Amino acid sequence: MKKRKAEKKDDKLKRVYRSTILFNQKEIQAINHYCKKYKINNRSKLMREMIIGSVLKKFDEDYPTLFENTPNLFNQNANG
């Protein structure tokens, strides 16, 4: 067997912050069913990916665009 070279990991990417999530009975049953159906063994990774994916998607949706539909001084309807 080959020995793996020790990879130096970036300290900024090291997971050192802990968070706790509480689920009710139906939620945990749904998670357990999902993990069993899709043969997921690492639930921490699953939850981390789902949470971060949701956050990044929301950031992407909220990112300002060049052509926003918000009214400004030049495209407001004249009132009177």
- C-alpha 63/C-alpha 73 separation (Å) is 22
First to last CA, the chain: 83
Domain ranges in the chain are 24-60
For 10-30, the pLDDT digits (tens) are 888 899 999 999 999 999 999
35 and 46 Cβ atoms separated by less than 8 Å:
yes
Cα torsion angle, 29, 34, 39, 41, sign: negative
Confidence (pLDDT) at 8: 74
For 51-76, the pLDDT digits (tens) are 999 999 998 888 777 766 666 666 66
Q: Is the pLDDT of residue 34 over 80?
A: yes
Backbone angles phi, psi at 26, to 5 degrees: -70, -35
- Helices (H) and strands (E) counted in the chain, each on its own, are 2, 0
